[in-house]
């Protein structure tokens, strides 16, 4: 999926559902992951590369600026959603990006019906939000965990910068 400007990098959930149907009609698997990806770093890249190996097409649900503010505090995000979506969509391993504004990915999971849902291995199936976990079971998604590189953390990067 090509885009002409930074603003074109992410698409609507409706378009993501259409793309999911196209992918399914081609007999390919749809992999879904999500995150904030603020101050994109090597740990993020590693997680996305590993997630992409779990199926044919990797899609990233990107937390909106508003949802990051609610989850991480009023000083976040550092990088706005338009730039974050552009950066993520620019990666060869990512097939599509859409922005979501809720605190949970439940509705998007139910709409997209991913074949595979990916989280980093600092999670377990039991630690996934109960509503999201229920949605994943409902759509029969395979839940997979990719290695987290512990040396990289957006919060740690922010702390280091503040301490300069």
The pLDDT score that the predictor gives to residue 71 is: 87
Average pLDDT over residues 75-81: 89
pTM here?
A: 0.88
Give the pLDDT confidence of 79-105 residue by residue, as tens digits: 999 999 999 999 999 999 999 999 899
Between residues 10 and 122, which one has the greater pLDDT?
A: 122
Average pLDDT over residues 1-21: 75
Domains and CATH numbers, the chain: 6-162 (3.40.50.620)
**From the CB of residue 29, how many other CB atoms can be counted at a distance below 10 Å?**
15
What is the percentage of the chain residues whose pLDDT exceeds 70? 90
Residue 1: band (very low, low, confident or very high) from pLDDT cuts 50, 70, 90: very low
- How far is Cα 164 from Cα 145, in angstroms, rounded to an integer? 34
Query: Residue 6 above 60 pLDDT?
Result: no
User: What is the dihedral angle through the alpha carbons of 142, 95, 120, 50, rounded to the nearest 10 degrees?
Assistant: 90
């Amino acid at each position: 999926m090509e885009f002409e400007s930074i603003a074109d990098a992410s698409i609507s959930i409706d378009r993501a559902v259409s793309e999911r149907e196209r992918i399914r009609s081609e007999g390919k698997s749809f992999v879904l992951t999500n995150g904030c990806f603020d101050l994109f770093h090597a740990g993020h890249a590693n997680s996305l590369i590993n997630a992409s190996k779990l199926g044919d097409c990797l899609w990233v649900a990107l937390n909106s600026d508003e949802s990051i503010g609610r989850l991480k505090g009023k000083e976040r995000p550092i990088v706005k959603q338009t730039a974050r979506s552009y950066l993520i969509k620019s990666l060869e391993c990512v097939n599509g990006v859409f922005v979501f504004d809720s605190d949970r990915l439940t509705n998007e999971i139910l709409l997209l019906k991913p074949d595979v849902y990916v989280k980093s291995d600092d999670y377990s199936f039991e630690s996934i939000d109960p509503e999201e976990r229920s949605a994943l079971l409902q759509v029969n998604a395979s839940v997979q965990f990719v290695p987290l590189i512990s040396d990289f953390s957006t919060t740690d990067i922010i702390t280091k910068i503040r301490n300069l």
